[in-house]
Amino acid sequence: LSRRKAAGADDSLSRSASLSKSSKIEDRLNKVVEAASSPITKNRSPELIPLTADYEQMKKKIRALIAAVKKYQKKTQEMQESKFELVEQFSVMSERSPVHEEIGGGLDTETAEALKRLRQQSSSSQEQHGAPTTTENVVEVAEKHRKQRGGANDTTISLYGLYSFGAAQAVANDYEYQSHVVDYAIEWEKIVTERVDRELKNVRKLEADRRHYERRVEGLRQR
């Protein structure tokens, strides 16, 4: 039961964050629309054709930007995974050698488990589009690890340990990038295009009605 309540709370927080983001974008768009309603702004019927063409170009640019943003994220993820895989192989190669402690020395169990939780929390939050539920961060885990090893007098850490911290931070950074860049760009494109497409549809209907009544009036004149 407690797990269901926690899951429900996480879903509520996720929906609230999504609604908050959408509301901010809507507010900004409303301000732009209000500013465009002034008499001196180019929004009259004769200018709708070139403005519509500009809008179609803007949509293409936004979608190309979103594609580039996602590609950058994917390549960054692949790079981070490759770096950690490389260090893991360094660790394996250094076994039974004098430099193993400096290259492949592992972290204590508590630190390793804490980093594992951070990676899992950030990955799970990204998949569910919610905020991480843990209050820990990589800096705090690193500080605990330093104190366990003797405080300021012992700051040595193996290459494998260093990259373990880096891998956990990379997952957290990826969550931030997904939330504040990828999701925001997708939401912005969705809200703007839905709003403008809807208004363009209304304008085209009004234009069709106008032409219909113009033809009727012209027919009445010719009688």
Supply angle C-alpha 96, 98, 101, rounded to 5.
Answer: 85
DSSP of 86-146? HHHHHHHHTTTSTTHHHHTPPPPHHHHHHHHHHHHHHHHHHHHTS-------HHHHHHHHH
Question: Residue 117 has what pLDDT?
Answer: 84
Output the pLDDT for position 155.
60
Return the structure tokens found at 158: 């193996």
What is the reported pLDDT for 36? 60
Query: Which comes out higher in pLDDT, residue 177 or 25?
Result: 177
Query: What is the dihedral sign for C-alpha 172, 174, 176, 179?
Result: negative
pLDDT tens-digit map of 151-210: 555 567 889 888 889 888 898 899 899 989 999 999 999 998 998 888 888 888 888 888
Residue 87: band (very low, low, confident or very high) from pLDDT cuts 50, 70, 90: very high
Task: State yes or no: pLDDT of 130 exceeds 60.
Answer: no
- Percentage of the chain surpassing pLDDT 70? 73
- Asked if residue 70 has pLDDT above 70, the reply is yes
The type of residue at 137 is N
The residue-averaged pLDDT of 13-32 equals: 66
pLDDT at position 158? 87
What pTM does this model have?
0.67
Report pLDDT digits (tens) over 40-64: 455 555 567 788 888 889 999 999 9
Question: Hunting for tokens 């797990």 — which residue is that?
Answer: 3
Which of the two residues, 17 and 72, has the higher pLDDT score? 72
Indicate the pLDDT class of residue 143, thresholds 50, 70 and 90: confident
Nearest to 210 by CA among 45, 70, 49, 67: 45
For the segment 82-100, the average pLDDT, to the nearest whole number, is 92
136: left (phi over 0), alpha (psi -120 to 50) or beta: beta
